[in-house]
Amino acid sequence: MSVRRWYLIILVTLSLSAQNPVQSTTLVQDRYTKLEQYVTMRDGIRLFTSIYIPKDNSQKHPILLLRTPYSVAPYGLDSYRASVGPSRSFDGEDYIYVYQDVRGRWKSEGIFVDMNPVKLKKGPKDTDETTDTYDTIDWLIKNIPRNNGRVGMWGISWPGHMVAQGMISHHPALKAVSPQAPMIDLWEGDDAYHLGAFQLAANFGFFTRFGGYRPEPISEAPKPILIDNPDGYDFYLKKSNLSNLSKVLGNQAIYWDAYISHDAFDTYWQARNLRPHLLDIKPAVLTVGGWFDAEDLFGPLATFKTINKQSPSTNNRLVMGPWTHGQWARGDGSRVGSAVFDANTSLFFQKEIELPFFNHFLKNKGAMNLAKATVFETGSNQWRFFDAWPPKEAVQSAIYFQPKGGLAFEPVKVQSGILPSEWISDPAKPVPYTMDITFGYSRTYMTEDQRFASSRPDVLVFETEPLESDLTIAGPLKVHLFASTSGTDSDFTVKVIDVFPNNAPTPADSPKNWNAGGYQMLVRGDTLRGKYRNSYSRPEPFVPNEITEVPFILQDIFHTFKKGHRLMVHVQSSWFPIVDRNPQVFMTIKDAKPEDFQKATQRIFHSPRHMSRIEFLQIKN
């Protein structure tokens, strides 16, 4: 069908819809006409695209585009989405909403490539996600009636990655983008690995549902792989190694096998690192993330900071709220697990930030008064607005590990006779990351009460005295451990915890038999696989029992430890099954046999010569 003929059919359809409205059961049916179209890419592959066009004929409308591997369902011209747009705050704004199945997924043609690398040199028929985005936008601008020539993109998680890819497509009509929890570097900090530590539960659970190679377009979801054990800790421990889990996934293991086979930051992951490509970004950018997003906390922070550095003229803004993965688009964002934030933070974002951002850049509607960084300060539970992130007024500070479990803002000064803190790490009994009995991962574990872990002998606990004044930390946490292991490899998990006073009031809707008095709220935690301490690409073993500096970075926080609270730090060598087990022997972990998993004696040193510490940025109150 020619473009011109297709255009005329749309006009007739819209005209009839406006003249003879049909009684609808949903707001979407009342306000929009749905179209379905295959959009042809430059190599001839056709991508299935679902389009919702406002029935309002009185003005031109901007286009908001979402590209996804997760389906644009429901399919069929008579089947409408329950809602359109980023949130219900967009109701009545009458954007042209476009949803597209990406190449090789659902009803789109072609072959799907996981985190499709950007091709630096392209011939006229070469494609990647940037060209698919460009070709889609170009088609929409030229073929959708009554569009105003401006396009925006939004998406969360993988669709957020598609937004990040889209903003480097350099189509001149793309004026505003919001990558939300975007995957930017799967190895260093997003879904697959965190500093070399494989994110076991999240990835295996995901690939039981996501599926593998799809030989032809589909409109119904393939059946997920069912696991008959609800206890992930028990299930993964019995499977012993990652290769055994490949057998469970069967023909759905295509991406899983790639992940576990590339355990270093090799060419596979380097090609999928999007940061080097965030150059000369033209559209305005609103990057969104959650402080308690277990999947993609790294991505939004890295996106914002990289654009600032590599594309300083870009209109670049950051929003970080007290949210789990995508929580800003669902629910009210008033709490995560036992942590309560005393506000509908999600609605604030939707109405006061997201909607004004797109309205301004796509409709010339309203002033652009958003701060460079709009960030929620947990602990004091308030939104703060800065002209930079981390804030320019923040000053360097540090907290030092002390003998006998102390934690202080001054290093140890005694020159001799200081014994290290030590524990025995046993891969046969790894430290659980949660008390919940769950197969996947608990979304609320990033604020979970850590009292269950503090009592374990294989978890070192360091703690301050009650704070004499509020302590506000804003930005990344730089861990410097001086450590030794009796093995040749070791994981180092560091958790930063806010300990509430014993008389802290318990919120009325808290779980039964839980008390906020003494609550050990996890604020930030992550794991470095020790063999990557000096290079992500070239792992190296430890020399048994030799003191070794182990530096790494925990992702940013913005948290106030209130007066009377304590700051606590846990150090441990397992966090299971959120992280796969380290056999504590320098080897290829995916193939480790049961006999390869060895106990190890781990030590942390805290003398004037070996000052184990966490450096951070503090905002003086």
Beta bridge partners, 572, equal 493
Q: Tell whether 418 and 515 lie within a shared domain.
A: yes
612 by DSSP, 3-state: which? Answer: coil
| Residues 245-287 pLDDT 10s | 999 999 889 999 999 999 999 999 999 999 999 999 999 999 9
Residues 375, 87: Cα–Cα separation, whole Å: 20
Q: Are residues 406 and 312 in the same domain?
A: no
Q: Of 362, 386, 410, which one is at a domain's C-terminal end?
A: 386
pLDDT digits (tens, 9 = 90+) for 497-530: 999 999 999 988 888 889 999 999 999 999 999 9
If asked whether residues 357 and 498 sit together in one domain, one would say no
Collect all residues with Cβ–Cβ distance below 8 Å to 360 and sequence separation of at least 6.
366, 367, 368
pLDDT of amino acid 21: 37
Q: What is the pLDDT of residue 510?
A: 85
Q: Which string of DSSP letters, residue by residue, matches 53-65?
A: EES--SS-EEEEE
Candidates 51, 44, 42, 45; CA nearest to 6 is: 51
Supply the pLDDT for residue 621: 73
Q: Are residues 27 and 44 in the same domain?
A: yes
- pLDDT, tens digit (0-9, with 9 covering 90-100), for 1-19: 333 333 333 333 333 333 3
Q: Is residue 263 in a domain?
A: no
Cβ distance 477 to 557 under 8 Å? Answer: yes
pLDDT of residue 553: 98
In this structure, the answer to whether residues 355 and 400 fall within a common structural domain is no
Residue 215 in domain: no
Structure token digits, residue 48: 């299935």
In a domain, 312, yes or no: yes
Please answer whether residues 30 and 24 qualify as being in contact, where contact means their C-beta atoms are separated by less than 8 angstroms. Answer: yes
Lowest mean pLDDT: which of 138-152, 221-235, 371-385? 221-235
Cα separation, 474 vs 605, in Å, equals: 27
Average pLDDT, the chain: 93
Same domain for 465 and 596, yes or no, is: yes
Number of folded domains that form the chain: 2
Q: How confident is the model at residue 400 (pLDDT cuts 50, 70, 90)?
A: very high
**What CA–CA distance (Å, rounded) separates 198 from 578?**
8
**Residue 589 belongs to a domain:** yes
Last residue of a domain, one of 336, 354, 386: 386
Q: What is the pLDDT of residue 512?
A: 84
Q: Read off the amino acid at residue 461.
A: V
At residue 278, the 3 state secondary structure works out as: coil
The region of weakest confidence among 82-86, 126-130, 195-199, 223-227 is: 223-227
Per-residue confidence band for 577, with pLDDT thresholds at 50, 70 and 90 = very high
DSSP string, 134-148: HHHHHHHHHHSTTEE
Q: What CATH number corresponds to the domain at position 503?
A: 2.60.120.260
pLDDT confidence of residue 25: 45
- Indicate whether 367 and 433 sit together in one domain: no
Q: Are residues 476 and 609 in the same domain?
A: yes
Give me the CATH number covering residue 110: 3.40.50.1820
Average pLDDT over residues 532-553: 98
Model confidence pLDDT, tens digit, residues 46-56: 999 999 999 99
Per-residue confidence band for 572, with pLDDT thresholds at 50, 70 and 90: very high
Q: Which amino acid is at 214?
A: R
State residue 6's pLDDT score.
Answer: 38
User: For residue 589, how far is the Cα from the chain centroid?
Assistant: 25
* pTM, full prediction: 0.94
Contact 337, 218 (CB under 8 A): no
Give which of 176, 108, 105 is closest to 363, Cα–Cα: 176
- For residue 241, tell me if it sits in a domain: no
The residue from 363, 386, 409 where one domain ends is 386
Region 453-461 average pLDDT:
98
Asked whether residue 202 is assigned to any structural domain, the reply reads: no
> Domain residues for 147?
3-184+274-386
**For position 22, what pLDDT does the model report?**
39
Q: Indicate the angle between helix axes 129-143 and 3-19, nearest 10 degrees.
A: 60
pLDDT > 80? residue 566: yes
Q: Are residues 53 and 148 in the same domain?
A: yes
pLDDT of residue 10: 37
Please give the share of the chain, as a percent, with pLDDT higher than 90: 88
Mean pLDDT of 530-541: 98
Q: Is the peptide bond before 62 cis (omega within 30 degrees of 0)?
A: no
Bridge partners for 570 per DSSP: 461, 495
Q: Is 424 found in the same domain as 374?
A: no
- If asked whether residues 609 and 546 sit together in one domain, one would say yes
When pLDDT is averaged across residues 355-361 and rounded to a whole number, the result is: 98
Residue 242 near residue 580, CB atoms below 8 Å: yes
Q: How many other C-beta atoms are found inside a 10 Å radius of the C-beta of residue 262?
A: 18
pLDDT for 394 beyond 50: yes
Q: Is residue 24 predicted with pLDDT exceeding 60?
A: no
Are 343 and 400 contained in the same domain?
A: no
| 504 inside domain | yes
Q: Is residue 509 part of a domain?
A: yes
Query: How much is the average pLDDT of 579-600?
Result: 97
